[in-house]
Amino acid sequence: MTEETPKKPALTLRAPGGLKATIWANNRPDGSTAYAVQFNRTYKDQAGQFHDIASFDAGEALQISVLATDAYKAISDLRSQDKSAAPTDPEPAF
């Protein structure tokens, strides 16, 4: 059995207060890429260990909405890069 290398995010956006939006790229069988976004807050526990949680207090709601907008724009940019990197079909010969 082989071990899989942990998948790395396509992009991570950060905001004050330890908030972040992680964008994941998932390759589909048809060769296209689907993007997903995960929102988390990073905190340090009493032992000094860092943890991510997906729970936010009311004061962070506006910051999460800004991160969501930024993530949407970043995914649009990633999709544009995907299209420009994709090979184009040659013109048919008649």
Asked if the structure places residue 5 within a domain, the reply is no
Asked if the structure places residue 4 within a domain, the reply is no
Asked if the structure places residue 66 within a domain, the reply is yes
Domain count, the chain: 1
Asked if the structure places residue 93 within a domain, the reply is no
* Chain segment 8-40, per-residue pLDDT in tens: 999 999 999 999 999 999 999 998 899 999 999
Asked if the structure places residue 2 within a domain, the reply is no
**Does the pLDDT value for residue 90 go beyond 90?**
no
What does the block give as tokens for 19? Answer: 């908030």
Asked if the structure places residue 69 within a domain, the reply is yes
Q: Which of 3, 59, 7 lies closest to 38, judged by CA?
A: 7
Q: Which of 56, 71, 48 lies closest to 18, judged by CA?
A: 56
Q: Say whether pTM exceeds 0.75.
A: yes
Asked if the structure places residue 27 within a domain, the reply is yes
Asked if the structure places residue 68 within a domain, the reply is yes
**Residue 74 is inside which H or E element, if any?**
helix 61-85
Residue showing tokens 């994709």: 86
**Does the pLDDT value for residue 91 go beyond 60?**
no
Full residue range of the structural domain in which residue 32 is found: 11-78
